[in-house]
Structure 1
Amino acid sequence: MPERWRTTGAAAPGQRSVGEPGTARIAVDLLGGDQAPAVVVDGALRACKADPSLHLTLVGPAEAADAVLAALKPADRRRITTAITPADTIGGAVLAVAEGRADALVSAGDTRATVLSAARELGRWPGLRRPALAAVVPTAAGRLVLLDVGSTVDPDEETLAWHARLGAAYASVVHRISAPRVGLLTIGTEPGKGDRLRRALPAQLVSLPLPAGARYAGLVEGGDVVLGRAADVVVTDGFTGNVLLKGLETAYALTGPPSRNTDPPARAALLLGVSGTVVVCHGAAAGPDIAAGIALAADLYRRGSVAAIADLLRVQRGIA
């Protein structure tokens, strides 16, 4: 069934529009997540109330969208647009960005469906076959970028080399780290540790040109991710990264983050490698997690982070 748009001050379907300076228009998948739509409605409300410059496009069934509208003051309802669709809410959110009706999207739905839809509708960056999900992990020393955390579970050497480039650019642009250190996650720091892929890749990473003056810092273990002293970026496959991230999330929920100066890990990751700002939340995300994902998407859009990362990689690889 096609979408039915109900606008309250936003552009009509098919029209490209630009928000006012400082605004961020975020498309939200109302049916994404294990406990959707209730937690997504909760998260959307939290985000909308916390950020008066935020505009939301709610993609999903009418009753879920109406629950958000009913809980807002009349003045705040003007910041809400709804796309009424009972199915493929991920595709609807991606389409809103592709057609210029939203600046970014947030979904806690199926990761594979989100990645495929975003790559198809928004387009991949030149030379990149598989986009990667990059998460920020708090460490005892601060924070690091971990990727991939769920997009590609069976990568080859080229894919992991791209992860190194993407992570280095992310750390430089978003965290403003000069010459980021890039580590490869494996089961030991001695040469030759790990599976075939992990044994073969270090030789390539040593000579791989990386953006922002980044350098390959060698092999790292899971404990190094918690300590955060060996690398600013940790590269791995989507299967291992997802397992590690969920384990850290649970551990930090029970004991707190490894430093009082760092926040718990956000249950959201940025999809790097597509021409748009796409934030994927944990399927088990609660309302505050959805709100944090929306805030992350808005912040990345306002700072022009995805475009800056793409430009940095384009310049580093000599692509006009």
Structure 2
Amino acid sequence: MTRPIIGRVVPERWRTTGATVPGQRTVGEPGTARIAVDLLGGDQAPAVVVDGALRACRADPFLQLTLVGPADAADAILAAQKPGVRRRITTTNTPADTVGAAVLAVAEGRADALVSAGDTRATVLSAARELGRWPGVRRPALTAVLPTAAGRVILLDVGSSVDPDEETLAWHARLGAAYASVVHHVPTPRVGLLTIGTEPGKGDRLRRGLPARLFDLPLPAGGRYAGLVEGSDVVLGRAADVVVTDGFTGNVLLKGLETAYALTGTPAGRADPPPRAALLLGVSGTVVVCHGAATGPDIAAGIALAADLHRRASVAAIADLLSAQRGIA
């Protein structure tokens, strides 16, 4: 019998975070979250990454961070910190392919999750290769949460698949519904398809042909297709709990709305906007991607998101829900 490679999907089975795999170490202390952070990821790295790591550690005493990159890029700053913080942040000596090394740390069980503000394509490719994709998922989806006038909306994809086909967007609908149910406890999630109007036939060829398939598509957690939605529906948040689109359009919408909210305030004056970070859904591990232009607080928020998802075993729960919905043992 062939021994499964750590971090990859065993054929015909769902490989989920937290599962016991030959040779993989288990997490030690309950509540502890070991996060590998790409030290060179982001436009202002490494300074902004170190700043975010320090903020995250000060806010969460159970974090253990490994900054993956050249050791001398952070050592001087870390040496000036209090011993309690300094003990919980270590560095590696990885001069190149820092995101690949961070992914490998998760695949080998040395970290529970990873955070990167580096090149999205490199992160997605490394995660798919080293962690493995879930059965049926050809293109993992970056999944973000946006504040709306009615609450929050889950938007995917926001940068992973810029030229998807119908099968990819159908999978995004499944992934989004499962994410809404598991992470945000949304009962019977409503899934909308983003386009330029709500009348039948609106949009490009892909969006004109997809609604018929989505109407008949079984979605996890009792989810249902809610029809076409426009950009205004994303801001209002009343038409759908999950909005599905391609990575190109989703990324443009995400950055436009985040900039607008930064200038004018979030809808309904929400004091707790979601983090400016996205979870990569469809791979067997917790992978959080921040903007390339992320600030220290953004990196800290991404680390906090990764830690929370790990502690709640969210990725495993999403995979299990999809597995049960599709009838995979």
Shorter-chain TM-score bucket reads: over 0.9
Q: How does 1:181-196 map to 2 (within 5 A)?
A: 181-196=190-205
Conserved 8 A contact 1:253-1:264: no
Choose from 243, 258, 263 the match for 2:252. 243
User: Are the structure 2 counterparts of residues 33 and 205 from structure 1 closer, same or farther at C-alpha, using a change threshold of 3 Å?
Assistant: same
User: Deviation per CA, 1:161-180, whole angstroms, max 9, x where unpaired?
Assistant: 00000000000000001000
CA contact (8 A) 1:249 1:265 kept: no
Preserved contact between residue 54 and residue 85 of structure 2 (Cα < 8 Å): no
Q: TM-score, normalized by length of structure 2?
A: 0.91
Misfit runs of 4+, over 4 Å: none
User: Secondary structure of the residue that 2:56 maps to in structure 1?
Assistant: helix
The alignment partner of 1:87 has SS state of coil
- Correspondence for 2:241 among 221, 229, 232: 232
Partner of 2:11: none
Match of 1:90, as an amino acid?
A: V
- The residue aligned with 1:99 is 108
d(CA) in 2 for partners of 1:45 and 1:75? 11
Equivalent residue runs for 1:132-143 within 5 Å? 132-143=141-152
Residues 210-269 of structure 1: CA distance to partner in whole angstroms, max 9, x if unpaired? 000000000000000000000000000000000000000100000000122353342210
| Equivalent in the alignment of 2:73 | 64
Structure 1 Cα separation of the partners of residues 245 and 144 of structure 2? 12
Report the alpha carbon displacement of residue 76 of structure 1 after superposing the two structures with TM.
2.6
Partner amino acid, structure 2, of 1:253? A
What CA distance in whole angstroms lies between the structure 2 residues aligned with 1:68 and 1:212? 46
Q: Is 1:50 aligned to residue 22 of structure 2?
A: no
Which ranges in structure 1 are unaligned for 5 or more consecutive residues?
1-13
Aligned ranges 1:1-320 → 2 under 5 Å: 16-261=25-270, 263-320=272-329
Partners of 2:55 and 2:298 lie apart in 1 by 10
RMSD over aligned Cα atoms: 1.2
Between the aligned partners of 1:316 and 1:68, the Cα distance in structure 2 is 48
User: SS where residue 198 of structure 2 aligns?
Assistant: coil
Give the drift of 1:17: 4.9
Q: Quick check: 1:111–1:150 contact (8 Å CA) kept in 2?
A: yes
Distance 2:274 2:296 in 1: 15
Paired position in structure 2 for 1:5: none
CA contact (8 A) 2:49 2:299 kept: yes
Structure 1 residue identity aligned to 2:150: A
Aligned CA distance change for structure 1 residues 35 and 162 (closer, same or farther; 3 Å): same
Q: Are the aligned partners of 1:139 and 1:225 in contact in 2 as well (CA < 8 Å)?
A: yes
Query: CA contact under 8 A between 1:163 and 1:235: conserved in structure 2?
Result: yes
Tell which deviates more after alignment, 81-90 or 271-280: 81-90
Q: Is the 8 A contact 1:143 1:262 kept in 2?
A: no
- Deviation of 1:129 after TM superposition, in Å, equals 0.5
1:48–1:54: 8 Å Cα contact kept in structure 2? yes
Alpha-carbon contact 1:19-1:25 (below 8 Å) kept: no
CA distance in 2, matches of 1:19, 1:103: 11
Name the SS for the 2:251 alignment partner.
helix
Taking the aligned partners of 1:259 and 1:32, their CA distance within structure 2 comes to: 33
Query: How far, CA to CA, are the matches of 1:132 and 1:205 in structure 2?
Result: 17
- Of 258-267 and 116-125, the range deviating more from structure 2: 258-267
Change (3 A) 1:79 1:285: same
What is the CA–CA distance in structure 2 between the aligned matches of 1:39 and 1:306, rounded to whole Å? Answer: 27
Q: Report the Cα distance in structure 2 between the residues aligned to 1:195 and 1:67, rounded to whole angstroms.
A: 53
Amino acid at match of 2:265: G
- Contact kept, 8 Å, 1:41 with 1:67, in 2: the verdict is no
Q: Distance in 1 between matches of 2:233 and 2:284?
A: 32
Paired residue type of 1:36: A
